[in-house]
Amino acid sequence: MMDLSRRRLLQAGLAAPVVPHALAAASPADAAEPIHRSLLWYTKPASVWTEALPIGNGRLGAMLFGGIKRERFQLNEDTLWSGGPYSNVNPRARQALPKIRDLIFAGRYAEAEALADAEVQAVPMREMSYQALGDLHIDLVGINETAAEQYRRELDLDSAIARSRFVAEGVTYTREAFASASDGVIVVSLGAEGGTIDAEFALSSGQRVDIDAANGEVTMRGRNNADRGIAGRLSFEARARVRAEGGRIEADGSMLRVAGARSIELIFAAATSFLSPTDVSGDPAAKVRTALDAAAAMPLATLRERHVAEHRRLFRRLTIDLPRGKRALSPTDQRLEHAGDGDDPSLAALYVQFARYLMLSSSRPGSQPANLQGIWNESNQPPWGSKYTININTEMNYWPVDTANLSECIEPLARMVEELAVSGARAAQQMYGARGWVAHHNTDLWRASGPVDHARTGLWPTGGAWLACQLWDHWDFHRDRAWLERIYPLLRGAALFFLDTLVRDPDTGFMVTNPSLSPENEHGHGSTLCAGPAIDMAILRDLFDRAGAAAAALGRDAKLRGEMATMRARLAPLRIGKAGQLQEWQADWDADAPDPHHRHVSHLYALYPSFQIAPDKTPALAAAARTSLETRGDDATGWGLGWRLNLWARLRDGVRAHRILVDLLSPGRTYPDMLDAHPPFQIDGNFGGAAGILEMLVQSDGETIDLLPALPPGWDEGALAGVRVRGGCAIDVRWRGRRVERVALHPERPLAVTVRSPGGRAHIRCSPGETAILTAADFA
């Protein structure tokens, strides 16, 4: 171990930042390089939705098909959900819960489930669904589609601009589109080199709408759908404004026609009347007019420059370079078709950057959080309602937000949890007679907090606690007091709920949740319902620890801190079963489970995302977690592979982690447009997979930074710059021959940390503004 002197630190602060090494050496800067590093590209239009390319600004999203004659922009607005403000707490629940607890402790699980379905589950039992806004259609009149050649479409992640290009009868046609976060609109431009453009523009929707065209605009006004007996309460408006260079623009019913134009620009804006989960009195028409007028006052070049500058301000914080495989310059769909070969390392780097692009496109301050599909959804009855599933999927969406250096993107999640705590306080009091707040396994735009779906999936009371812990984890990366003050009431309220509702297990004497379940997995004794599943106990250990630490840091609630510490000590511990596995339930039931390869691995929360299990600190538990993973198997849904990838990375097994990653990138788990296949599409696999790739390269727990802890074969050299670690620090690392050549640490707060690499370890102390540099010799 070595300790850097202050003189070394000051000298290091003058050193150049890490320059991506592996690729710089392997490939000169040429026109093909962007294809390899930050470009999705294709040689034919999309034929189905999962081949289309996503753009978004956090609030507005579109999927672009890149058609030759007919282009389709499938549109979304992030507050367009079914229904309206409602509460789903069952008034009979509080009276029924004591009987359900008794049945569970008596081992009468099927009876407990039947009673819960009848008396406890939410009313309505299903929540509202995220909706599709509609479609923008662009028809190029007079184009002979069969004569088109030299076709190409692409999505440039670095500029967040989608383009398509083709040549037809000597004219080169181009389309460019971007969703501007700086100006709140979607911008489309069409060009024709060597000719003119004749085009038709129209809007359509599956909602209840009126559409008209006049004065160079197509306007769509409507109301959202009712759902589950909840009336549709949202009004919305969408408007496309067209301007053309040369030629003329005419309205034809609900459509605009443009003839003889040299180029065409379209600006699209949309909004709903949603203001909050309890207020739908907004004026969508005013919002749309304001956005359109402001954007239309600027030339296209200015709109593009503002959009690109805002995107790159965040996107360029992190770079990742891995060795270029033999297919690195092939079209993206072809790379994915061969992902199973495992010989395209830079595809993993592209996957990370695509996930960062998706995060910037679907979750920005002021928007809604990314839901099960981010913001991209073409159905009014989407799978699982495209809701917020908070027994893993919503949390997984935000796993990479800090390591990938996009901290601002977590703000919508924090606001959702704050709103959920309000409805969750009613659920806590009305259902459980408890203080604090609770949320079960799902929520929606209206922040419903009752246990939806059937008891075997919905009666899980720990979703809110997990979300609160995740907000603490964000604090751990930045150590910002203002953030801690913001989230402490959420941590405190979640802890109060469990102080009031945990019960003593008569068989063991430990305090447990009851009723609960290990998310979506049946234990083989007639139900999923149980007392004290491993995930609950692990989440509550984190909750009490983090709420207590936050209270201490803020100088608050000394008595409550003691109560939380006492209750934490009484929680049922993690247990190792007779097969050497980490038990999923209090009893050793793992071998009895009907589905031994279940997609959820909830009992391994303590390994990841928590730090309660670690190979060097709790080797026996780590070995048990490995046994559980081996038994569960590698095959899973897309997001299930994302979780397994992070778990194998935490176990520092690069070979196994890489095997999971190859499966995740392969057809069947990743669509041609690189969106995750559950199947069908769910975005959590993209985010979980990106988090796992970064976890293979850098891990941190606030005391130790592990470099290359799960480096797989074939990634022998590479570079990662701008990745964040816990403690308020960003780092750059470059490696060659599987050994770290250089690492730079850029702390924002006083830093004292041990840095471990395959070559050894070093202890670092430095202050904000200083940069600590380590080379291979420092780890010898």
Same domain, 312 and 401: no
pLDDT band for 214, please (50, 70, 90 cuts). very high
Identify the domain boundary among 316, 349, 365.
316
**53-56 vs 161-168, strand pairing mode:** unpaired
Residue 323 belongs to some domain of the structure? no
Nearest-Å Rg of the Cα atoms of the chain is 27
Same domain, 301 and 394: no
Task: For residues 156 and 361, give the distance between their C-alpha atoms in angstroms, rounded to a whole number.
Answer: 13
Q: Please give the full DSSP string across 83-96, using - where no structure is assigned.
A: S-S-----TTHHHH
Mean pLDDT of 539-543: 98
Mean pLDDT of 748-771: 94
Task: For residues 241 and 295, give the distance between their C-alpha atoms in angstroms, rounded to a whole number.
Answer: 10
In this structure, are residues 131 and 274 in contact, taking their beta carbons and an 8 Å threshold? Answer: no
Identify the domain boundary among 296, 316, 336.
316
Q: Output the pLDDT for position 20.
A: 34
In this structure, are residues 442 and 127 in contact, taking their beta carbons and an 8 Å threshold? Answer: yes
- Average pLDDT over the chain reads 94
Q: Which amino acid is at 150?
A: Q
Residue 631 belongs to some domain of the structure? no
Mean pLDDT of 200-211: 97
- pLDDT tens for 240-286 read 999 999 989 999 999 999 999 999 999 999 999 999 999 999 999 99
Same domain, 275 and 401: no
- pLDDT tens for 43-93 read 999 999 999 999 999 999 999 999 999 999 999 999 999 999 999 999 999
Residue 134 belongs to some domain of the structure? yes
Nearest CA to 4 out of 592, 632, 769, 751 is that of 751
| Domains held by the chain: number | 3
Q: Output the pLDDT for position 36.
A: 64
In this structure, are residues 192 and 172 in contact, taking their beta carbons and an 8 Å threshold? Answer: yes
Q: Which amino acid is at 335?
A: R
Per-residue pLDDT at 161 exceeds 80: yes
Residue 490 belongs to some domain of the structure? yes
In this structure, are residues 521 and 636 in contact, taking their beta carbons and an 8 Å threshold? Answer: no
Q: Output the pLDDT for position 434.
A: 98
From 23-32, 437-446, 512-521, 559-568, the region with the lowest mean pLDDT: 23-32
Per-residue pLDDT at 22 exceeds 70: no
Per-residue pLDDT at 19 exceeds 80: no
Mean pLDDT of 137-147: 92
Task: For residues 374 and 381, give the distance between their C-alpha atoms in angstroms, rounded to a whole number.
Answer: 16
Give, in degrees to the nearest 5, the angle at Cα 618 between 599 and 397: 35
**511-512 vs 53-56, strand pairing mode:** unpaired
Nearest CA to 518 out of 508, 505, 531 is that of 531
Task: For residues 504 and 499, give the distance between their C-alpha atoms in angstroms, rounded to a whole number.
Answer: 12
Identify the domain boundary among 577, 593, 618.
577
Same domain, 71 and 208: yes
Token pair listed for 433: 């007679």
Per-residue pLDDT at 17 exceeds 70: no
- pLDDT tens for 576-626 read 999 999 999 999 999 999 999 999 999 999 999 999 999 999 999 999 999
HSE-CB of 548 using CA atoms within 13 angstroms: 17
Nearest CA to 170 out of 146, 154, 149, 140 is that of 149
Taking CA atoms, 665 is separated from 153, 673, 693, 752, in Å, by 21, 11, 12, 37
Q: What are phi and psi of 164, to 5 degrees?
A: -140, 155
Those residues whose C-beta lies under 8 Å from the C-beta of residue 597, and which sit 6 or more positions away, are: 632, 633, 635, 636
Same domain, 569 and 435: yes
Residue 694 belongs to some domain of the structure? no
Mean pLDDT of 397-415: 98
Same domain, 296 and 204: yes
Same domain, 285 and 394: no
Q: Output the pLDDT for position 759.
A: 87
Task: For residues 38 and 471, give the distance between their C-alpha atoms in angstroms, rounded to a whole number.
Answer: 30
Task: For residues 125 and 132, give the distance between their C-alpha atoms in angstroms, rounded to a whole number.
Answer: 22
Task: For residues 205 and 220, give the distance between their C-alpha atoms in angstroms, rounded to a whole number.
Answer: 9
Residue 306 buriedness (CB in 10 A; 0-12 / 13-18 / 19+) = middle
Q: Output the pLDDT for position 4.
A: 45
Residue 454 belongs to some domain of the structure? yes
Mean pLDDT of 204-228: 97
Q: Which amino acid is at 734?
A: R
Same domain, 558 and 415: yes
CATH for 481: 1.50.10.10
Specify whether the backbone of 551 is left (phi greater than 0), alpha (psi in -120 to 50) or beta: alpha
pLDDT band for 34, please (50, 70, 90 cuts). low
Same domain, 255 and 167: yes
Q: Output the pLDDT for position 2.
A: 40
Residue 630 belongs to some domain of the structure? no
- Percentage of residues of the chain with pLDDT beyond 90: 93
- pLDDT tens for 664-708 read 999 999 999 999 999 999 999 999 999 999 999 999 999 999 999
Same domain, 157 and 286: yes
Per-residue pLDDT at 10 exceeds 70: no
Taking CA atoms, 360 is separated from 363, 375, 492, 525, in Å, by 6, 11, 30, 44
pLDDT band for 11, please (50, 70, 90 cuts). very low
Residue 637 belongs to some domain of the structure? no
From 17-26, 52-61, 654-663, the region with the lowest mean pLDDT: 17-26
Task: For residues 166 and 368, give the distance between their C-alpha atoms in angstroms, rounded to a whole number.
Answer: 36
CATH for 276: 2.70.98.50
Token pair listed for 640: 């299930």
- pLDDT tens for 336-356 read 999 999 899 999 999 999 999
Q: Which amino acid is at 89?
A: V
Per-residue pLDDT at 553 exceeds 60: yes
Q: Give the range of the structural domain holding residue 194, as residue numbers without chain letter.
A: 52-81+129-316
pLDDT band for 33, please (50, 70, 90 cuts). low
Task: For residues 159 and 722, give the distance between their C-alpha atoms in angstroms, rounded to a whole number.
Answer: 18
Those residues whose C-beta lies under 8 Å from the C-beta of residue 28, and which sit 6 or more positions away, are: none
Same domain, 150 and 238: yes
Same domain, 15 and 56: no
Q: Output the pLDDT for position 35.
A: 61
